[in-house]
């Protein structure tokens, strides 16, 4: 696979005009520059599905621990441990297996488990509580006793 420069086809993730309709540029990238290098922002873009798929499973060459957002990678931000999306195997695999037990198809398909249920106060039985004066507190002193005299 050859690397083509910005002279043949141009892709800039910050270009508003490209983002308004990116599909013609994506098509050109797949056809003319499947491995594209942007000199301005110093990044590579892989545009063909098969190439992207190979890169996703090759965790020796391509790591997730620095993120997938260009700004995070360039800023050299240290990602705190425990952020699943920024983890690489084997720890990512362990955490993903734990989470997959919670997000089973049955649980995800059950809308009552995911949505908060509306409150229906008219269906609840209201319980009336008798008002009982509080017992005088040692710190409250005479103020409380004056408001609630004992019978």
Say what the pLDDT of residue 33 is.
96
Q: Is 78 helix (H, G, I), strand (E, B) or coil?
A: coil
Q: What is the mean pLDDT of residues 135-142?
A: 56
Q: Which residue carries 């620095």 as its tokens?
A: 66
For the chain, what is the mean pLDDT? 79
Q: What is the pTM (predicted TM-score) of this model?
A: 0.55
Domain extents in the chain: 1-62, 78-114
CA 11 – CA 87 distance, rounded (Å): 28
Q: What is the mean pLDDT of residues 135-147?
A: 55
CA 124 – CA 80 distance, rounded (Å): 46
Length of the chain measured in residues: 151
Q: Say what the alpha-carbon torsion angle 104, 94, 54, 28 is, to the nearest 10 degrees.
A: 60
Q: For residue 91, is pLDDT > 70?
A: yes
Say what the pLDDT of residue 8 is.
83
pLDDT one-digit tens code per residue, 30-87: 999 999 999 999 999 999 999 999 998 888 888 878 777 888 888 888 888 888 888 8
Q: What angle do CA 94, 99, 105 make, to 5 degrees?
A: 130
CB 40 within 8 A of CB 52: no
Say what the pLDDT of residue 6 is.
44
Of 100, 101, 84, residue with least CA distance to 92 = 84
Q: What angle do CA 119, 124, 126 make, to 5 degrees?
A: 125
Most confident region among 14-18, 98-102, 139-143 by mean pLDDT: 14-18
Q: What is the mean pLDDT of residues 19-39?
A: 96
For residue 38, list its beta bridge partners: 43
Q: Which residue carries 């050109």 as its tokens?
A: 28
Residue with the bigger pLDDT between 36 and 8: it is 36
Q: For residue 2, is pLDDT > 50?
A: no
Say what the pLDDT of residue 54 is.
93
Handedness of CA 86, 51, 74, 18 (dihedral sign): negative
CA 118 – CA 116 distance, rounded (Å): 6
């Amino acid at each position: 696979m050859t690397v083509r420069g910005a002279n043949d086809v141009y892709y800039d993730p910050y270009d508003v005009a490209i983002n308004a309709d990116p599909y013609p540029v994506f098509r050109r990238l797949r056809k003319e520059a499947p491995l594209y290098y942007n000199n301005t922002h110093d990044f590579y873009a892989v545009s063909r599905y098969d190439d992207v798929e190979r890169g996703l499973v090759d965790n020796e060459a391509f790591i997730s621990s620095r993120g997938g957002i260009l700004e995070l990678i360039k800023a050299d931000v240290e990602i705190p441990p425990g952020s699943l999306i920024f983890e690489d195997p084997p720890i990512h695999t362990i955490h993903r297996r734990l989470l997959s037990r919670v997000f089973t198809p049955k649980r995800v398909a059950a809308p009552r488990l995911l949505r908060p249920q509306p409150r229906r106060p008219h269906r609840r039985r209201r319980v009336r509580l008798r008002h009982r004066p509080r017992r005088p507190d040692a710190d409250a002193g005479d103020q409380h006793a004056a408001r609630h005299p004992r019978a």
